Amino acid sequence: MSGESPSQDELVRLLRECRTIAVVGLSSNPARASYHVAAYMHRLGKVVIPVNPNESEVLGRQAYPSLSAVPDSIDLVNVFRRSEEAGAIVDEAIGIKAKAVWLQEGVIDEAAALRARQAGLQVVMDRCWLKEHLRCLGQESSDPGPVRP
């Protein structure tokens, strides 16, 4: 990961405290990584908000075409899109006053990450939320069971 990495304490805080998570690019296809990670979040009791204009519902929740269409406040925006699409998503996350953005493994946009930090958002880039949760908090969590709803 390049850029400014969050400390271990910052990662743990994000993983624990972010309860409402918008997952941009969440697919209803159980074979997709976005579904696997979001289902794990859901099993942990997180409020998962699907953001994908090609979906109507995922994991039993209404899907929205964009972050700005979500009526709820969002703690964390988790991005499962190509790197070249991340900048616009990060700008939208800034606009809705999300607390943090998490760019999944392989999603890298240094300029967008800088804009988010300058706007006061916590940024995690090029890391998997699920892997980090297991690494940082796995021993604290009860087994969430299978990652299907």
Whichever domain contains 120, its CATH number is 3.40.50.720
Q: Report d(CA 87, CA 8) in Å as an integer.
A: 25
Structure confidence at residue 115 (pLDDT): 98
What pTM did the predictor assign? Answer: 0.91
Q: What are the pLDDT digits (tens) for 36-71?
A: 999 999 999 999 999 999 999 999 999 999 999 999
Supply 104's token pair.
């999944």
Question: What range defines the domain where residue 108 resides?
Answer: 8-137
Asked if 34 and 42 count as a contact pair (C-beta separation under 8 A), the reply is no
Instruction: Compute φ and ψ for 21, nearest 5 degrees.
Output: -125, 120
Q: Give the integer Cα–Cα distance in Å for 109 and 137.
A: 27
What pLDDT is stored for residue 5 in this prediction?
77
Nearest Cα to Cα of residue 118 among 96, 91, 84: 91
CA distance 79 to 111: 15
User: Is 142 contained in some domain?
Assistant: no
Residues 137, 113: contact at Cβ < 8 Å?
A: no
In a domain, 3, yes or no: no
Average pLDDT, the chain: 92
Dihedral Cα 90, 103, 126, 5, nearest 10 deg? 70
Instruction: Tell me whether residue 40 is in a domain.
Output: yes
Q: Mean per-residue pLDDT for 119-145?
A: 84
148 band by pLDDT with thresholds 50, 70 and 90: very low
- pLDDT score recorded for residue 145: 53
